[in-house]
Amino acid sequence: MHLKPPRVVRPFGHAVEAVRRWPVESQQLSRRNAMIASTALAQRRAELNDVEDFLAVAGLSPTPEVAAHAAHG
């Protein structure tokens, strides 16, 4: 006859696990947000470069106010 060992009841088991997972999940979410922001900035910079190249080929240049706004967002 095989008896199962008694089940240990952990009333705060879910809360403890949530606390243990929190730093990992928080860091993963932060990393994801940073990657999204980095991608958006790279796209914006590429678009700005395209516009600057177009204006250079056309022999034009943006006004200083527009160039400063584009450079600093």
| pLDDT reported for residue 1 | 60
pTM value surpassing 0.75:
no
pLDDT in tens, 44-71: 999 999 999 998 888 887 666 666 666 6
Contact 48, 70 (CB under 8 A): yes
- Encode 17-56: b = buried (16+ Cβ within 10 Å), e = exposed: eeeeeeeeeeeeeeeeeeeeeeeeeeeeeeeeeeeeeeee
| Residue ranges covered by each domain of the chain | 25-72
Angle (CA) 47-50-53 rounded to 5° is 150
